[in-house]
């Protein structure tokens, strides 16, 4: 609807109205009211540049509760500074050619880019406020602007070669391991040969005339095939591990049904905005319904801004209600399972960052932040108790990870990183504290575990040329402690643990492990492990393909239920129940007994577990390792370790923790293991969110639900390199990528279909992890014309966002002026209504299209097995 030629009201198919309240004389919107009645005001520079966005708070007479983002410009029109609502800012400096050369935060930390004449970044230096170099890397480009060499701080190179069409044909790492790629006449990747002089892991790809991937032949010679309809929708997937899966679609292109190899058909329902509203299974008690827009009875005043948001999820495990504030932040979640309600509440700063959490029993965790928005102190107030400082004085590397903190009783945990932002040492010098140093080979494999500050390793680690762990040795004597071997696909062939060597056998037509040391295993048609050793251990799966029961010697040991997000929210045997709660990032927050009383509750600093309320709600300190696995638990009152899980145990996590290291006879049971995992004694497996992990074999009991997205070996854990690459959701190893472009593309591919269907923008950040690899934040939902990517994470290198359906008055298929003016980092990324993936370089290069038809091979962080991903990025012309 228009008024005087200006867009006035937009009504979506659900009847939700967005109203443009005012325009300036140039036709730019000054105020827009969304369907929840929230008004956002826009201010412009005389030259038309957006200078501020203000999301109005509840107090109309003051800006104190508004969220205002301000943008300052250089006279050239380039963005000079972006200031977040909480005052944290990022400043940008350019050279005479208008190319970005420096990024500075309000603490004085800087990222400096050295450019060649073509604008390529040949060096990147990250320094703290004093000018001390903290991270560096260098690149060499050839005359065609193609990346020739990328080198670490120690000058360890990775070299690239190209054919005449610009396709990457060879990549050679610092240990001289080469991977070759071949291409078909249409320049589509058709073959990769990893470690051409040794293992020769050979993977082949085929496509149809529309560039759809139709076949992947893995190094074992097994084919996975894909069939499509005329619209390019996948209608049949045939896998050697999961069998045949078929799909149908509705007239809007939404997936309507999915039928697995067991014959179970899952049906999907959608509303007028194409939002998923129902998932139905053959077992109707497991059906999931999603409710949007309707404020739930659990929501208090000020928590009723529900339009456009998920407000209720009802499934086989629980009924979950969601409540939101006026800024769209989740402020209350009520999870009711088997009649027991667990209430979790969130509070936020003016900048939208988490300020306080209230757990179901009333315990509160608060986060004190510095001017950059980083957490410097965590306080804990147990239910009915007084506030205690869990940790304080937390410091951070510039644009990087936490450098350490001091626990409430004075213990200090330091976390040192090298100039590649790889972990160098983690040390608590008090008795019983975590004390470990790390050593790496030139290719980035973690090869040594030492006492912090000691050059003689206690443990030496060996790898094959594909980066898979093959040996764990005594660092002083060289004696083999544990050893492993693999086939070219990544299946473990043998394991020597202690004095015993076990053989692993597989059928010729799949990657399903058939026996370990002659102990047979059985599977269902979709590749789920159903039995180990006959009736010794048995597992039952429901029609959602999740494990719902464990048995030993024929007797039921536990039953399991899951919610619509895939979280295991209930375990029960007879009338004894344990209810489990997760936060919105998938972190385990707590277990609760049959009455809803807390058994244990975890406290987090970003992705690191740092505290535990256990044993009558007493606060304990957790000391996490470089990946985020708990390794030591400290009793702060006695200042002794009461639980330890040694880094020097069996590499894949099969060594049990010491539950009574102080020898007082009181065991502390903590089931946390690798990131995202919790040991379950009833099944003998580690529950890993979407899957179940068996530490004894270093593999999952189920094939990866996302197929090759998690790697060519769909049962393997962390690319068989567990000291380097976690898998917190049981999907993508580490959820991280070799390049920022790969991370951004995956983020856009994940959310673009929903963005187009809902006609809303989604956005988030691409950032670099301390290990040098890249990942992306969860997408945030915006409006039809804008999205706030959220708080800038440490290591941010760029931002991604989508454009929904084509909206009058807005650019859909290209970056808007505002998109290109705000230099969030190295680049901005855009997913368009037509499905294009675009990259805009803030160094001054024009934006380029990134093809969306990218074979799904895995996005893990393994510096060697991820070579295939590097080739994919180069094969399609992506800049590293």
- Name the token pair of 745: 């593309």
In this predicted structure, the answer to whether residue 875 has a pLDDT above a threshold of 50 is: no
Mean pLDDT computed over 264-274: 92
- Greatest mean pLDDT among 57-61, 769-773, 774-778, 812-816 lies in 57-61
Q: What is the pLDDT of residue 4?
A: 84
Q: What pairing do the DSSP bridges indicate for beta strands 796-802 and 827-831?
A: parallel
Q: Is 350 left (phi over 0), alpha (psi -120 to 50) or beta?
A: alpha
Mean pLDDT computed over 827-847: 66
What DSSP assignment string belongs to 441-488?
-TTS-EEEEE-TT-SS-SEEEEE-TTS-EEEEEETTT--EEEEEEE-T
Mean pLDDT computed over 718-735: 75
Q: What is the pLDDT of residue 734?
A: 41
- Name the token pair of 769: 């992890």
CA dist 500 and 484 (Å) reads 12
The residue among 127 and 844 whose pLDDT is bigger is 127
In this predicted structure, the answer to whether residue 299 has a pLDDT above a threshold of 90 is: yes
Q: What is the pLDDT of residue 853?
A: 31
For residue 475, what pLDDT band results from cuts at 50, 70 and 90?
very high
For residue 164, what pLDDT band results from cuts at 50, 70 and 90?
very high
Mean pLDDT computed over 100-120: 93
Q: What is the pLDDT of residue 849?
A: 53
CA dist 231 and 210 (Å) reads 10
Q: What is the DSSP letter of 872?
A: H
Q: Are 482 and 195 in contact (CB under 8 A)?
A: no
> Does residue 824 fall inside a structural domain?
yes
Percent of the residues in the chain that have a pLDDT greater than 90, as a whole number: 72
| Number of helices (H), then strands (E), in the chain | 3, 71
Mean pLDDT computed over 494-518: 95
What DSSP assignment string belongs to 608-640?
EEEEEEETTTEEEEEEE-SSS-EEEEEETTTTE
Q: What is the pLDDT of residue 878?
A: 29
- Name the token pair of 836: 């294009």
Tokens 């085929």, located at residue: 206
| Sign (positive or negative) of CA dihedral 848, 854, 859, 863 | negative
In this predicted structure, the answer to whether residue 872 has a pLDDT above a threshold of 70 is: no
275 CB-near residues (< 8 Å, 6+ apart): 290, 292, 754, 757, 758
In this predicted structure, the answer to whether residue 328 has a pLDDT above a threshold of 60 is: yes
For residue 768, what pLDDT band results from cuts at 50, 70 and 90?
low
Mean pLDDT computed over 696-703: 96
- Name the token pair of 131: 């000018």
Q: What is the pLDDT of residue 870?
A: 32
In this predicted structure, the answer to whether residue 760 has a pLDDT above a threshold of 80 is: no
Q: Are 489 and 713 in contact (CB under 8 A)?
A: yes
Mean pLDDT computed over 70-79: 92
For residue 794, what pLDDT band results from cuts at 50, 70 and 90?
low
Phi, psi of 285 (to 5 degrees): -65, -15
Kindly state the helix (H) or strand (E) to which residue 750 belongs, with its residue range: helix 740-758
In this predicted structure, the answer to whether residue 689 has a pLDDT above a threshold of 60 is: yes
Q: What is the pLDDT of residue 753?
A: 66
Least confident window among 221-225, 246-250, 656-660, 841-845: 841-845
In this predicted structure, the answer to whether residue 468 has a pLDDT above a threshold of 70 is: yes
The residue among 712 and 692 whose pLDDT is bigger is 692
pLDDT tens per residue, range 107-116: 999 999 999 9
Mean pLDDT computed over 650-678: 97
pLDDT tens per residue, range 128-138: 999 999 999 99
pLDDT tens per residue, range 209-218: 988 889 999 9
For residue 739, what pLDDT band results from cuts at 50, 70 and 90?
low
3-state secondary structure 649-671: CCCCCCCCCECCCCCCCCCCCCC
- Name the token pair of 619: 């606060």
> Does residue 782 fall inside a structural domain?
yes
| Domain that residue 795 falls in | 74-207+736-875
> Does residue 741 fall inside a structural domain?
yes
Report the number of distinct structural domains present in the chain. Answer: 1
Mean pLDDT computed over 114-122: 92
Mean pLDDT computed over 664-678: 97
- Regarding pTM above 0.85, the answer is yes
Mean pLDDT computed over 779-808: 69
CA dist 347 and 325 (Å) reads 10
Q: What is the pLDDT of residue 684?
A: 98
> Does residue 775 fall inside a structural domain?
yes
For residue 783, what pLDDT band results from cuts at 50, 70 and 90?
low
Mean pLDDT computed over 469-495: 96
> Does residue 789 fall inside a structural domain?
yes
43 CB-near residues (< 8 Å, 6+ apart): 30, 50, 51, 52, 53, 54
In this predicted structure, the answer to whether residue 859 has a pLDDT above a threshold of 50 is: no
CA dist 848 and 166 (Å) reads 15
CA dist 538 and 558 (Å) reads 11
Q: What is the pLDDT of residue 830?
A: 85
For residue 817, what pLDDT band results from cuts at 50, 70 and 90?
low
Q: Are 240 and 253 in contact (CB under 8 A)?
A: no
Q: Give Cα 572 to chain centroid, integer Å.
A: 30
The chain-wide mean pLDDT, for the chain, equals: 88
In this predicted structure, the answer to whether residue 879 has a pLDDT above a threshold of 50 is: no
Q: Give Cα 174 to chain centroid, integer Å.
A: 28
CA dist 317 and 570 (Å) reads 7
Q: Where are the beta strands (DSSP E) in 222-339?
A: 223-228, 234-239, 243-249, 255-259, 265-270, 276-280, 288-292, 310-314, 319-324, 330-337
Mean pLDDT computed over 768-783: 65
> Does residue 489 fall inside a structural domain?
no
663 CB-near residues (< 8 Å, 6+ apart): none
The residue among 40 and 745 whose pLDDT is bigger is 40
Mean pLDDT computed over 675-692: 96
Q: What is the pLDDT of residue 274?
A: 84
CA dist 103 and 464 (Å) reads 39
Q: What is the pLDDT of residue 19?
A: 95
Mean pLDDT computed over 435-449: 95
Q: What is the pLDDT of residue 764?
A: 83
Mean pLDDT computed over 652-665: 97
pLDDT tens per residue, range 372-431: 999 999 999 999 999 999 999 999 999 899 999 999 999 999 999 999 999 999 999 999
> Does residue 178 fall inside a structural domain?
yes
For residue 771, what pLDDT band results from cuts at 50, 70 and 90?
very low
Percent of the residues in the chain that have a pLDDT greater than 70, as a whole number: 88
> Does residue 298 fall inside a structural domain?
no
Task: For residue 619, give the nearest of 606, 605, 632, 600 by alpha carbon.
Answer: 600
Q: What is the pLDDT of residue 865?
A: 32
Q: What pairing do the DSSP bridges indicate for beta strands 168-172 and 178-183?
A: antiparallel
Least confident window among 153-162, 753-762, 840-849: 840-849
In this predicted structure, the answer to whether residue 876 has a pLDDT above a threshold of 70 is: no
């Amino acid at each position: 609807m228009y008024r005087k030629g200006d867009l006035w009201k937009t009504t979506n198919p659900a009847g939700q109205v967005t109203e443009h309240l005012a325009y300036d004389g140039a036709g730019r919107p000054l105020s827009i009211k969304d369907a929840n009645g929230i008004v956002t005001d826009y201010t412009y520079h005389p030259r038309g540049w957006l200078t501020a966005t203000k999301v109005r708070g509840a107090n109309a007479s003051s800006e104190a509760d508004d969220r205002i983002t301000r943008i300052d410009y250089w006279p050239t029109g380039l963005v000079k500074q972006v200031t977040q609502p909480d005052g944290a800012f990022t400043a940008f400096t350019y050279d005479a050619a208008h190319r970005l050369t420096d990024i500075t935060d309000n603490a004085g930390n800087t990222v400096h880019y050295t450019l060649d004449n073509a604008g390529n970044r040949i060096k990147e230096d990250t320094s703290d406020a004093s000018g001390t170099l903290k991270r560096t890397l260098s690149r060499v480009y050839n005359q065609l602007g193609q990346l020739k060499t990328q080198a670490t701080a120690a000058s360890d190179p990775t070299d690239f070669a190209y054919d005449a069409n610009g396709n990457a044909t060879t990549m050679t790492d610092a240990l001289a391991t080469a991977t070759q790629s071949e291409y078909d006449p249409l320049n589509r990747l058709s073959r990769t040969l990893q470690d051409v002089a040794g293992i020769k892991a050979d993977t082949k790809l085929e496509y149809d005339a529309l560039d759809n991937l139709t076949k992947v032949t893995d190094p074992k010679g097994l084919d996975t095939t894909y069939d499509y309809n005329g619209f390019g929708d996948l209608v049949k997937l045939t896998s050697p591990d999961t069998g045949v899966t078929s799909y149908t679609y509705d007239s809007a292109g939404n997936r309507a049904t999915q039928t697995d190899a067991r014959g179970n058909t899952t049906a999907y329902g959608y509303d007028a905005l194409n939002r998923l509203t129902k998932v139905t299974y053959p077992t109707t008690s497991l059906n999931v319904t999603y409710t949007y827009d309707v404020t739930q009875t659990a929501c208090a005043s000020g928590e009723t801004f529900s339009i456009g948001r998920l407000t209720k999820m009802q499934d086989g495990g629980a009924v979950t209600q969601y409540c939101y504030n006026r800024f769209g932040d989740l402020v209350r979640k009520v999870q009711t399972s088997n009649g027991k309600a667990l209430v979790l509440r969130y509070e936020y700063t003016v900048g939208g960052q988490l300020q306080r959490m209230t757990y179901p029993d009333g315990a509160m965790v608060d986060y004190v932040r510095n001017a950059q928005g980083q957490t410097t102190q965590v306080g804990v107030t147990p239910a009915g108790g007084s506030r205690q400082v869990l940790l304080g004085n937390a410091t951070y590397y510039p644009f990087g990870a936490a450098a350490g903190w001091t626990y409430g009783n004075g213990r200090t945990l330091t976390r040192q990183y090298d100039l590649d932002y790889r972990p160098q040492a983690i040390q608590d010098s008090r008795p019983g504290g975590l004390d470990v140093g790390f050593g790496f080979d030139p290719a980035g494999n973690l090869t040594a575990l030492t006492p912090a500050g000691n050059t003689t390793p206690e443990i030496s680690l060996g790898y094959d040329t594909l980066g898979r762990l093959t040996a764990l040795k005594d660092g002083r004597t060289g004696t083999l402690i544990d050893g492993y071997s693999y086939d070219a696909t990544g299946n473990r062939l043998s394991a020597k643990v202690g004095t015993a060597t076990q053989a692993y056998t597989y059928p010729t037509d799949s990657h399903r492990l058939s026996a370990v040391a002659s102990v047979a295993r059985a599977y269902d048609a979709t590749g789920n492990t159903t039995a180990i050793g006959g009736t010794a251990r048995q597992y039952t799966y429901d029609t959602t393909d999740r494990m719902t029961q464990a048995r030993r010697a024929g007797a039921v040991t536990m039953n399991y239920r899951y919610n619509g997000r895939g979280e295991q929210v209930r375990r029960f045997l007879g009338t004894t129940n344990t209810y489990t709660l997760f936060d919105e990032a998938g972190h385990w927050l707590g277990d609760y007994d049959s009455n809803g009383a807390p058994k244990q509750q975890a406290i987090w600093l970003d992705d690191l577990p740092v505290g535990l309320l256990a044993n009558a709600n007493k606060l304990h300190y957790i000391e996490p390792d470089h990946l985020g696995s708990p390794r030591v638990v400290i009793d702060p009152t006695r200042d002794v370790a009461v639980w330890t899980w040694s880094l020097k145990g069996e590499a894949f996590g099969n060594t049990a923790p010491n539950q009574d290291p102080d020898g007082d006879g009181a065991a502390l049971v903590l089931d946390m293991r690798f990131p995202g995992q919790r040991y379950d004694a009833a099944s003998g497996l580690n529950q890993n969110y979407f899957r179940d992990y068996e530490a004894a074999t270093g593999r999952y009991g189920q094939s990866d639900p996302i197929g090759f997205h998690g790697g060519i070996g769909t049962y393997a854990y962390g690319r068989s390199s567990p000291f380097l690459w976690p898998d917190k959701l049981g999907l993508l190893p580490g959820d991280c990528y070799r390049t920022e472009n790969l991370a951004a593309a995956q983020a856009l591919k994940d959310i673009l279909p929903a963005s187009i269907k809902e006609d809303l923008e989604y956005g988030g950040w691409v950032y670099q992890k301390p290990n040098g690899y890249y990942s992306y934040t969860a997408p945030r939902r915006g409006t039809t014309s804008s999205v706030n990517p959220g708080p800038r994470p440490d290591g941010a290198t760029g931002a991604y966002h989508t454009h929904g359906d084509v909206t009058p008055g807005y650019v859909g298929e290209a970056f808007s002026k505002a998109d290109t003016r705000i230099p969030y980092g190295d680049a901005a990324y855009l997913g368009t209504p037509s499905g294009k993936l675009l990259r805009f370089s803030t160094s001054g290069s024009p934006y380029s299209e990134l093809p969306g038809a990218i074979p799904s091979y895995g996005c893990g962080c393994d510096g060697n097995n991820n070579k295939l991903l590097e080739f994919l990025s180069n094969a399609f012309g992506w800049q590293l």
